[in-house]
Structures are given as C-alpha cells and as structure tokens.
Structure 1
Amino acid sequence: MAYLEITLKVSNENRPAAAGVYNKYKEPFLKQVQGAKSKELLVRDEDVQVLHGFATVADAKAYLQSDLFTHDVVTALSPYLDAAPEVRIYEVA
C-alpha cells in the first residue's frame, strides 16, 4: 500500500471551487486509475490535502504522469491555488 499526499494552498473563498474539482474527479480516479484504492479530502485552516491510496508506489507515481492528473485535475485546480502544490509519496511499512 502507498499514499500520495498533495498539499494545496487554497484561500477560503476558493475552497468551495477547489472542493468541486475534488468531487468531480474522485469517481474517475477510483474507477480508471490503476491501483487506486481511496481518495480523501482533508481540510484545515492552513491548507487542504488530498490523500490518495494506491496498491503500490509505482501506481502513485504513474498517476502523477497520467492525463487525468496532468491535464484534467491540474488544469481545473490551477486557478484556485495560491502556491505550487506540495507532493509526497509514502509507502506503508
């Protein structure tokens, strides 16, 4: 099991729109992406995190190169970001 954590700096006024992007692409992610197991939206005052669960680290890395991520998700989220996203991949020990 592996997790892809993407931390997003999104202002309060843009959070509903950013959450809409999350909701729009959650089901396609779970149905179409190889090894996809889960996707959660974590919200706190400082930032928003999207936590993706994968079968393997290789699946997480492949998703970051996929059209769904690079063309669809990134393009849709870009107008709402205050800074570049922080991306981390974790392997479950």
Structure 2
Amino acid sequence: MDIAILFLTSVVILGILTIQGRLSRNERRVARVERKLDLVLGHLDLHEEIPGRDEILALVREGKKIQAIKLYRETTGADLVEAKQAVDRLG
C-alpha cells in the first residue's frame, strides 16, 4: 500500500514538472513574439490603441502614476507589471 502511494505521488510530481516546463517554454516563446511584434509596429510607426489613453496621460502629467497604472489595468485587463511598463512608456 505504501509503495503504491509513493509511486502515485512520484507520477503526479513528474507530471506537474513536465507541464510546468512546457508552460515556461511557451511563455518565453510568446514573449519573443511580442518583442518582435513591438519592433515591427515601431518600425511602421504604428501605435497600439489604448482605451482611456487621454485620461491615463493626464494622470501621469499630474504625477498620479499609481492611479494611471490602476486605470490602465481596469481598461485593458493587463497585469500589474505590464500596466506599469505601459504607463512608463507613456510618461
């Protein structure tokens, strides 16, 4: 009985590690594609349309960077790091 539990635990852990490795690899791949897309957009002088951009810029100019990041997250659904980077680029 103990050997069966140990075996099942080992299989589950191995499965989790395998899935984690694949996810990490996919995240790196997506990040590379996003960087390339940003370069192409920059080369073509195209800019991503940001909902509420004027309001966010106004908050940045007023020195309310945290509120600008919060508004960016609410309007775009971005995570905290992405929102901070985007607001930094706007400012």
- Assess same fold via TM > 0.5: no
Q: TM-score, normalised by structure 1?
A: 0.28
- Larger helix fraction of residues: 2
